[in-house]
A = this chain, B = another copy of it.
């Protein structure tokens, strides 16, 4: 219940970031709805395709698709309001990220997959929507550069998996596992944004770049 509320908050917020990205590329309404949909439900779709988990969520529940397209179109009317309230969006987007990760992890666990794959499923659900948005809008995928994002999906996935697997003997039930993952993951993400925590970046220096280009030319 809590999770499905958060899921709807999450897809709405993600759809709005998708619509803004589409607006920066001067797309038409169809483009806005396409990018909004891919951003909001692309992560879950890629996860379900990778795991062979059919039917996809939005095929079984088409109203998610309607919500997402509407959110995209509404964003075109209130872009300046959205831009002024970007702090709110960081919050909603972060809540959505953790909710997506928990849902992804659960899908993997319900399918009886190994713990690592359940956590990969969490990361894919949390991250691929934004990746698809950036590919469609032809910009450098943000998730690969900026403050911790995929790492938080990874952390939330492991935490939820751990609480669900080993928490039972300490009286941890499902709601408790969900809620504590949400709170800790959200706090972690807010700290990452505030203090600009990042993963180490791998930059090839110019000299090496030249050599590598040589390498790449022939490989």
Taking beta carbons and an 8 Å cutoff, which residues of A are in contact with B? Answer: 17, 19-32, 34-35, 45, 49-52, 54-56, 59, 62, 65-66, 76, 79-80, 82-84, 86, 89-90, 93, 113-114, 116-117, 120, 135-136, 138, 140-147, 149-151, 193, 198-204, 208-209, 211-212, 214-219
Contacts and interface: CB of A to CB of B under 8 A. Distances in A.
Contact of A202 (B29, B113, B146, B208): B29
Given A212-B83, A217-B146, A76 B202 contact: yes
A79 to B, nearest CB: 6
- Copies, count: 3
Contacts of A114: 62
A145 B26 contact: yes
25 contacts: A17-B216, A19-B202, A22-B144, A25-B140, A26-B203, A27-B144, A27-B145, A29-B199, A31-B145, A32-B202, A50-B56, A51-B59, A52-B54, A52-B56, A59-B117, A62-B120, A66-B116, A76-B200, A79-B202, A79-B212, A86-B212, A86-B219, A138-B138, A142-B219, A146-B218
Given A28-B202, A83-B208, 19 more contacts: A20-B216, A25-B144, A27-B145, A27-B201, A27-B202, A28-B200, A29-B202, A30-B143, A31-B145, A35-B144, A65-B116, A65-B120, A79-B204, A79-B208, A82-B212, A82-B215, A83-B215, A90-B218, A135-B135
Contacts of A50: 45, 49, 56, 59
Contact of A86 (B56, B113, B200, B211): B211
A136 B144 CA distance: 10
Contacts of A83: 208, 211-212, 215
Nearest to A55: B52
Given A62-B116, A212-B20, A147 B202 contact: no
Contacts of A59: 50-51, 113, 117
A62 B189 CA distance: 27
Nearest to A17: B219
